[in-house]
Structure 1
Amino acid sequence: MPINGTTVSALDVPHGLAGVVVTDTALGDVRGREGFYHYRQYSAVELARSRSFEDVWHLMFHGELPDAAGRAAFTARTAALRPLPAEVQAALPVIARSSARSGPLAGLRGALSLFGASAGLSPLYDIGADRRLADALAACAAVPTLLTALYRLGQGLEPIAPRDDLPHAANYLYMLTGTEPDPDRARAVERYLISTVDHGFNASTFTARVIASTGADLAACLVGAVGALSGPLHGGAPSRALDTLDAIGTVDRIDPWVRERVMAGERIMGFGHPVYRTEDPRSRMLREIAEGFGGPLVDFAVQVESRVEAILAELKPGRELHTNVEFYAGVVMELCGLPREMFTPTFAAARVVGWSANILEQAADSKIIRPAARYTGPPPPQPVPAA
């Protein structure tokens, strides 16, 4: 196979690129057999337990956790970027109407494209590191404002302007509901947001990096990532996992409901992960948060988790199938008052920071990502039939 004028041997790789290392990164990693993942040199779960979202955002973009003065400066800088350009605000009602059936995440694709054009985001290939960083900060600050505005417009409500005196997570909830949130619930959502900032070379992150490798502008990279995230096998599962709890309904229905679906070859949403071969550390942390709130929903979720894992171990021996981040994420967001149609958009409001950090890292590499495929169609060349 000729590549850049040189003939090299094609490599066969596992289906879905499972386990294939495609580049180096200093941003973090997922160690699936250990049930551990990290942002740079720190445990992501420990960061979620002890630091703020702004601290982790700073870490991902600048490579270090800020001190008190650095945190204050970074928080002020990003809070000032939350308001949207006037032309974007004016267009949001149309975008919300056109995406009413699909929801805010679908609307975000169009809104991000408009934001990129309005903000004058240039191709990554044509600008330096400082401008790339400024573009990434602006986009990450704008995404929560876009998502909450699209949701409220879709509900027939006016958007709520962001406040610069609230932390990132509290401001997100305020823009969504119009009410300053309870501190415990704001902190629970903040811990969820931190836990989902980045997670290795997942489908949406890899998509963002592929687009970044072409030198496209940052908004184009993020639009591609949002598209990948919208799939039910990626970020589109938190509300579906909660729907599973609703469908089961009562404790006595857990076993028959789960057995019927497993025997039919259906997937139980909220269980299993392509990387983890042990308990998902994000699920463990979110279960702790949920149990801190307590209540019937939490008690039922814990019972469902226990029985589903036992049934999966019985019916699928040899496979490690545990709850993933979506299962308890849905429970926590429900307890914190987020509407279900905002579960995956909330995931995106956090992951945009990880996507952007990966885009910035990829932009420093001028090599375009261009793999090959094996052709399996009819043997060519064949005569073209007459018209």
Structure 2
Amino acid sequence: MVITNGATQQDLDRAQARIAFAASPAVSAAGGATPASDVPRGLKGVVVTETVLGDVRGREGFYHYRQYSAVELAERRSLEDVWHLLLFGELPDAAARARFAARVAPLRRIPDGVAELLPGLAREGRRAGAGTLDGLRTALSLAGSARGVGPLYDADEATRIDDALFAAAVTPTLVAALYRLGQGLVPIAPRDDLPFAANYLHMVTGVEPTPVQVRAIERYLVCTVDHGFNASTFTARVIASTGADLVACVVGAIGALSGPLHGGAPSRALDTLDAIGSPERIDPWIREHVLAGDRIMGFGHPVYRTEDPRSRLLRGVAEEFGGELVTFATQVERRVVELLAELKPGRKLHTNVEFYAGVVMELCGLAREMFTPTFAVARTLGWTANILEQAADSKIIRPSARYAGPPPPQQVPAP
């Protein structure tokens, strides 16, 4: 909603956050040498830097990559185009698109020394009950070492971009190889003739996907490339601010994404549909869990106060497939929203990206254990763009904490 002079409510919130950050009472930190300011728990609403990569307007239900609507980009442009936009600031024409594809294609291949280690990594991961995302952290770190990726602090801009392209290009190949090895299957090499989304589905499933599946998964990937300063993106930027190597930044982001409160929800949202089971069980199941205070996975978002635009996009993608799963998902969505309004009046909750993301990925032939790794495949493009932006700023991110333990100094007791 427009408030004054074209400013939105979110603009005003951010301005107030800046004022609060600047004017809040200082407390002693680092022995009184550095003043610290109190900020909201979880840094909610705190502006920590400026970015040209995009923003999320939660009250409007809108987000963008650079100057373009992210949803419109997902509907009208390819993932490669959006990748190019984030890294270089412009959408490519046909000639630039061909050059970019030729530049990226050889970077998809896993370094030989790393490929030899993947069977053991997948085997040990399965033995320990770890998933593909856990293996990706180790495999990507090994790939970065094999390539010789050095600290951002020491690298020039061209080298940083090359490293960013490598990390984003090799990640889907590593994800697909680890998954297939964990299933006792042979990894499938990337194909230079397939674009990003088609190549990924082919490497994971072993069959060439249909055009409908390719376009569906591509729209999912595009709409989840970036989304403001979420936990994993902020983690990547904190690591980048230390001057660490780019792959280390991505590995840290993957660790943040692995948490169920961040990237682990798509399969859990689909598990909710399974638990409900049938239309006649929707009301009693939802009532029971809402009244018990349980979280309904796939609903609610910390930023959006209206419908998540990614959910709206993916609902449309799912409806293009049709079928029992999609029909049931839309029934559940409608009744959950209605029942939450009844049981929790004044608290508006809508589906978030995870609810229909799980439906779309399942319809595209991806196993549920691959939902969050696929999210990581998309988000790596956004992480690397953020890492490059952060690397251009030499200031390390180093916040403070208020000590809340027993008052020091106390005498150390005798042994």
TM-score interval, smaller chain: over 0.9
Q: CA RMSD in A?
A: 1.3
Deviation of 1:16 after TM superposition, in Å, equals: 0.8
Is residue 94 from structure 1 mapped to residue 88 from structure 2 by the alignment?
no
1:171-186 matches, within 5 Å, as: 171-186=199-214
Which residue in 1 is equivalent to 2:24?
Answer: none
Which residue in 2 is equivalent to 1:111?
Answer: 139
Aligned mate of 1:290, from 318, 336, 360: 318
Q: Would the aligned equivalents of 2:29 and 2:400 in 1 still touch at CA under 8 Å?
A: no
Q: Which amino acid aligns with 1:71?
A: R
- Counterpart CA distance in 1 for 2:218 and 2:407 is 55
Aligned mate of 1:81, from 107, 114, 122: 107
Which residue in 2 is equivalent to 1:281?
Answer: 309
Aligned mate of 1:123, from 144, 151, 165: 151
Q: Which amino acid aligns with 2:51?
A: T
Give the TM-score taking structure 2 as reference length: 0.91
- Counterpart CA distance in 1 for 2:344 and 2:156 is 51
Q: Would the aligned equivalents of 2:265 and 2:298 in 1 still touch at CA under 8 Å?
A: yes
- Counterpart CA distance in 2 for 1:2 and 1:142 is 46
Change (3 A) 1:270 1:55: same
- Counterpart CA distance in 1 for 2:154 and 2:227 is 28
Which residue in 2 is equivalent to 1:46?
Answer: 72
- Counterpart CA distance in 1 for 2:31 and 2:159 is 34
Q: Which amino acid aligns with 1:143?
A: T
Aligned mate of 1:64, from 84, 90, 94: 90
Which residue in 1 is equivalent to 2:38?
Answer: 12
Deviation of 1:3 after TM superposition, in Å, equals: 8.1
Deviation of 1:385 after TM superposition, in Å, equals: 1.3
Count of matched residue pairs: 387
Give percent identity, aligned residues only: 73
Q: Secondary structure of 2:108's match?
A: coil
Note the alpha carbon deviations across 1:189-234, whole angstroms, 9 max, x for none.
Answer: 0000000000000000000000000000011101110000000110
Q: Secondary structure of 1:258's match?
A: helix
Deviation of 1:2 after TM superposition, in Å, equals: 7.3
Is residue 319 from structure 1 mapped to residue 347 from structure 2 by the alignment?
yes
Higher mean C-alpha displacement, 174-183 vs 21-30: 174-183
Higher mean C-alpha displacement, 206-215 vs 112-121: 112-121
Q: Which amino acid aligns with 2:75?
A: R
Which residue in 2 is equivalent to 1:156?
Answer: 184
Unaligned runs of at least 5 residues, structure 1: none
Q: Which amino acid aligns with 2:223?
A: S
Is residue 342 from structure 1 mapped to residue 370 from structure 2 by the alignment?
yes
Deviation of 1:288 after TM superposition, in Å, equals: 0.3
Higher mean C-alpha displacement, 7-16 vs 100-109: 7-16
Give the TM-score taking structure 1 as reference length: 0.98
Note the alpha carbon deviations across 1:224-258, whole angstroms, 9 max, x for none.
Answer: 10000000110110000000000000111111111
Q: Would the aligned equivalents of 2:29 and 2:36 in 1 still touch at CA under 8 Å?
A: no
Q: Would the aligned equivalents of 2:340 and 2:349 in 1 still touch at CA under 8 Å?
A: yes
- Counterpart CA distance in 2 for 1:135 and 1:114 is 14
Q: Would the aligned equivalents of 2:236 and 2:383 in 1 still touch at CA under 8 Å?
A: yes
Aligned mate of 1:249, from 277, 280, 284: 277
